[in-house]
Structure formats: structure tokens, C-alpha cells
């Protein structure tokens, strides 16, 4: 991973600001910008606009769910963005959380590994110009042809993966992986071995595979960012209903007991106490926070562990929020800090300015 192989997640921003920050990130030497799709905006709209305002930076969907639209619609949107961006699309796909799929999209969340395999098989065939008929275990398409001339190579497909089996699948069938909130030890002992197993199953190596992980980030001019990132650590350490691998990531780094104690406080409705319970060392180890030198050292350690890219999600200093319905007890929601938008923008500004090359 080169010094400028950093990605910037652009979330919690109005679309116009996300586009503006993509221009700033390109000027600062970031390798990629990633446009999530949760509640703030769809991924393809601002990503497409950003692709028309930039010339070099990779344009990533970070990530879109395979149940959010049909495989045909995904192929059309991805191909259009790849064409308009001059071949810069990084198509990040995820199965997302069960609650998102069922409560928001009204779809049945089932067989996530098979669903991802089906979806990527359909997209690969479409991008190659085939007449696509695919009868999979979860997704099926009959007689679809993508009548577009795509820049070559076709869009690179990234799988959002945190658990070992999905990581293996990424190593087997994808061009890259987008992980999240993975400790250094988890990357070394779980992620990289799983990617290698998947690649071996497909009879290929990881040469050219983009193994990346993203992190909440509070980059500051001193180490105050570590304290200001503890709310983010509390959020992910207790998100068992979304991604159990977050707890395993903490355990791999030696903070399993702390994560369990934090979870007990959350279940008891003491959110502020849960944040205070996050040890300084745990915050320093689980997110990218503190001075630019400290953050760069952490990034270098991830490079040494095998990653080819690291992404930062500038986070509101001192902020935290529920990641899904019932993450925090209803009676505790009055303890949520007020959303400080100016502070979030300062976090974006500092991340781009201090880590630019």
C-alpha cells in the first residue's frame, strides 16, 4: 500500500458537500472516495456527480445492498457510473444488516453467502456483454443484455466482509474487500488467512486483490481525538445485532472483557457510563484517532499486516448513535449527544488536511 492509498468515506453529509469533499480529497492525494447508502443519500447519485467533478480519484459505492435493487438495476446503474467516470467505479456490495433488508426494503434476508455469489455472477456476466440467464439459490435473471459499451476493465467489485466466511468469499470471487472496524490482530489472524483460503479455493492468488478496511476516524492535531472517538468504539463494540464480528475484532485485540462490560452498561441503559468505560488503549486500538503521527503509524501497521488500503470515516468528535433499531434501550435515547454538524465538518476538514499527501 502506497502512502496515498487512503480512502475517504463520505457519509452524514448533504450530497452537495459530499461531492465537494470528493474534489478536496482528490486534490489532497486520496486514492478513493466512498459513498455509503444507509439513510443520508443513495450511493449512485452523489457518486455520479462526484465522478464528473474529478478526474483521478476512485469512485466507490460504500456499500450498496444486494437486496436494495435488482441485479439488473444494479448492473445498469454501475455501468452508467463506470462509463461517466471514465472507468473509475469501485462497486462495493454488501448483504447489509437483516433489519435494513427486512424492515426497510421489505425483502427476505436469507442465505447471505449464496445471495452475494449469485449477485456477483449476474453482474460479471452482464459487464462482459453476455446474454445473462442465471438461476441461482437466491437471485435469478433471464435473458438480460447490457447494451452499453463499458470502459475496460469493467467495474471492480468489492465485497463488504467482516465475518470469516464472507471474507473467504471475497477472496474467492471479488476484486477487493471492504471491511470495517477490524483490529490489527483481527486483520492479521482472521482476515488475511480467510482471504488466502478463498483465493486458493478459486485457484488464484491475491495478487492485484484490494484488501481494505474502513474505520471511524477523529484525526486531531494532538492526541485528544482518542478520547473524542470513544463513543464510536462504544457503538461498534455493542452492535451485536448488526455485525457480531465487531465483538470478535475487539476480542482479537485483547479487549473482549472490556467490550462485554461496555455492553452490559448499554443494556442497562447507561450510555454515558458505557462511553466512559471504554479504555484509552481500546479506543487507540480500534479506530483511527489522535494525532496525525499516531494515525499514520496505525495505518503503517495495517499495511504491514497485509492490507492494501485503509479508509477513514471522519466522525463527529464525542458523537455516538444507534446503528439499528433496538441497538440502545429506548429509555436511554435521551442520553444521545446532540448532533454537532459543524464539529463533523471540522473532522472532515482535519482528516483531509492532515492526512493529505
**Percent helix, strand and coil across the chain, each rounded to 5?**
50, 20, 35
Calculate mean pLDDT across residues 47-75.
97
Domain boundaries, the chain: 6-227+288-326+340-355
Calculate mean pLDDT across residues 273-278.
98
What separation in angstroms does the CA of 91 have from each of 59, 153, 201, 322?
8, 13, 23, 27
Given a contact cutoff of 8 angstroms between Cβ atoms, the answer to whether 93 and 69 are in contact is no
Which pTM does this prediction carry?
A: 0.96
Q: What is the pLDDT of residues 214-223, one digit of tens each?
A: 999 999 999 9
pLDDT computed for residue 71 by the predictor: 98
pLDDT computed for residue 1 by the predictor: 41
pLDDT band at 241 (very low <50, low <70, confident <90, very high): confident
| CATH class, 6-227+288-326+340-355 region | alpha beta
Calculate mean pLDDT across residues 117-145.
98
> Which residues on neighbouring strands pair with residue 58, listed in sequence order?
32
The lowest-confidence range among 96-105, 107-116, 122-131, 195-204 is: 96-105
Cell numbers representing residue 252 in the block? 482479537
Q: How many Cβ atoms sit within 10 Å of the Cβ of residue 193? A: 15
Amino acid at each position: 500500500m502506497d502512502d496515498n492509498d487512503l480512502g475517504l468515506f463520505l457519509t452524514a453529509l448533504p450530497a452537495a458537500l459530499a461531492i465537494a469533499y470528493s474534489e478536496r480529497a482528490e486534490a489532497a492525494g486520496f486514492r478513493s472516495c466512498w459513498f455509503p447508502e444507509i439513510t443520508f443519500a443513495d450511493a449512485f447519485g452523489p457518486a455520479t456527480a462526484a465522478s464528473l467533478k474529478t478526474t483521478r480519484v476512485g469512485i466507490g459505492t460504500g456499500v450498496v445492498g444486494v437486496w436494495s435493487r435488482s441485479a439488473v438495476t444494479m448492473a445498469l446503474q454501475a455501468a452508467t457510473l463506470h462509463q461517466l467516470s471514465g472507468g473509475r467505479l469501485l462497486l462495493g456490495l454488501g448483504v447489509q444488516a437483516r433489519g435494513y433488508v427486512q424492515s426497510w426494503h421489505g425483502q427476505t434476508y436469507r442465505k447471505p453467502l449464496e445471495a452475494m455469489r449469485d449477485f456477483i455472477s449476474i453482474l460479471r456476466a452482464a459487464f462482459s456483454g453476455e446474454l445473462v440467464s442465471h438461476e441461482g439459490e437466491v437471485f435469478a435473471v433471464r435473458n438480460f443484455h447490457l447494451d452499453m459499451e463499458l470502459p475496460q476493465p469493467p467495474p471492480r467489485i468489492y465485497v463488504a466482509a467482516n465475518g470469516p466466511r464472507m471474507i473467504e468469499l471475497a477472496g474467492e470471487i471479488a476484486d477487493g474487500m471492504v471491511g470495517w472496524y477490524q483490529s490489527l490482530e483481527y486483520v492479521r489472524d482472521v482476515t488475511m488467512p480467510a482471504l488466502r483460503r478463498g483465493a486458493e479455493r478459486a485457484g488464484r492468488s491475491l495478487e492485484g486483490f484490494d484488501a481494505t478496511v474502513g474505520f471511524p476516524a477523529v484525526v486531531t492535531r494532538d492526541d485528544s481525538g482518542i478520547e473524542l472517538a470513544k463513543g464510536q468504539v462504544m457503538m461498534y463494540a455493542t452492535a451485536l445485532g448488526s455485525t457480531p464480528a465487531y465483538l470478535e475484532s475487539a476480542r482479537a485485540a485483547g479487549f473482549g472483557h472490556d467490550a462485554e462490560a461496555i455492553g452490559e452498561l448499554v443494556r442497562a441503559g447507561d450510555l454515558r457510563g458505557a462511553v466512559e468505560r471504554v479504555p484509552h488503549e481500546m479506543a487507540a486500538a480500534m479506530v483511527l484517532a489522535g494525532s496525525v503521527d499516531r494515525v499514520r503509524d496505525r495505518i503503517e501497521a495495517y499495511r504491514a499486516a497485509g492490507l492494501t488500503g485503509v479508509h477513514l470515516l471522519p466522525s463527529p468528535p464525542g458523537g455516538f448513535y444507534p446503528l439499528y433499531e433496538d441497538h440502545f434501550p429506548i429509555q436511554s435515547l435521551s442520553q444521545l449527544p446532540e448532533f454537532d454538524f459543524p464539529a463533523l465538518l471540522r473532522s472532515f476538514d482535519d482528516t483531509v488536511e492532515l492526512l493529505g499527501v
